[in-house]
C-alpha cells in the first residue's frame, strides 16, 4: 500500500494557475489596504497644518458646547419696496447656538432661567442689533421669494457668528412672520 500524500506540490498547468490567482488576490488586497490607509491619513491631515499641529478651526470645533436654542424675541422693522412704498416686517427669531470655549463644569453661559437658555445681556443686544440691521436691508419683493428667506437666514447666521464673540450660530429659526 502506498501512503496518501495530504500535501502535494501543484503540478501542471492547473497548479500554476492557482498560484497566479493567489498572488493576484494578495496584490489586490494589499492595494486596497494601502488606498484605505492613504485616504484615512488625508482626512486626518486636513485637520492638521504643515507643522503637525491641529488647525484653529478644528480646535475651535472641539471647544464648542452643546447646541442650545435661544429666543431673540420679536422684531418689527420697515423694509423697502421697489415702488417707494413703506412696508413692514414683523417676525420672531430664535437661534441655535453653541458656546465657544465651553467649560464642562462651568454650568453654561447664560443660565437657563424659567424661559430656557438665554444669551448674556450684552450678547443679546449685539444679536438684536445685527438682526435689525440685516432685516432693514431687505426688500419686500426679495422676501416674497423662497430664495430670499434662505439668503436672509444665511446672512443672519454669518453676521451673528461674526458679531457674537462667545457663540457660534448654527441655525436661524424664523418662527413667526407677517409682511405688509
Please name the helix (run of DSSP H) or strand (run of DSSP E) that holds residue 176, with its range, or none: strand 167-179
CATH topology for 61-179 is Tetrahydropterin Synthase; Chain A (3.30.479)
CA 65 – CA 102 distance, rounded (Å): 5
Query: What are the structural domain ranges in the chain?
Result: 12-46, 61-179
pTM of the model: 0.59
pLDDT for 74 beyond 50: yes
pLDDT at 33: 73
User: What's the pLDDT score for residue 65?
Assistant: 87
Whole-number percent of the chain with pLDDT over 70: 66
Q: Name the packing angle between helices 121-136 and 146-163 (round to 10°).
A: 140
Q: Is residue 125's pLDDT more than 80? A: yes
Amino acid at each position: 500500500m502506498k501512503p496518501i500524500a495530504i500535501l502535494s506540490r501543484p503540478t501542471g498547468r492547473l497548479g500554476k494557475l492557482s498560484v497566479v490567482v493567489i498572488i493576484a488576490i494578495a496584490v489586490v488586497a494589499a492595494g486596497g489596504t494601502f488606498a484605505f490607509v492613504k485616504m484615512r491619513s488625508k482626512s486626518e491631515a486636513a485637520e492638521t497644518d504643515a507643522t503637525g499641529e491641529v488647525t484653529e478651526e478644528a480646535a475651535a470645533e472641539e471647544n464648542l458646547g452643546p447646541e442650545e436654542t435661544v429666543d431673540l424675541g420679536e422684531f418689527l422693522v420697515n423694509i423697502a419696496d421697489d415702488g417707494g412704498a413703506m412696508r413692514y416686517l414683523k417676525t420672531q427669531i430664535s437661534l441655535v447656538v453653541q458656546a465657544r470655549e465651553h467649560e464642562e463644569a462651568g454650568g453654561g453661559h447664560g443660565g437657563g432661567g424659567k424661559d430656557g437658555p438665554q444669551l448674556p445681556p450684552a450678547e443679546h443686544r449685539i444679536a438684536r442689533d445685527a438682526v435689525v440691521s440685516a432685516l432693514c436691508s431687505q426688500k419686500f419683493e426679495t422676501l416674497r421669494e423662497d430664495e430670499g428667506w434662505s439668503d436672509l437666514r444665511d446672512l443672519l447666521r454669518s453676521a451673528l457668528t461674526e458679531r457674537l464673540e462667545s457663540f457660534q450660530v448654527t441655525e436661524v429659526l424664523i418662527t413667526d412672520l407677517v409682511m405688509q
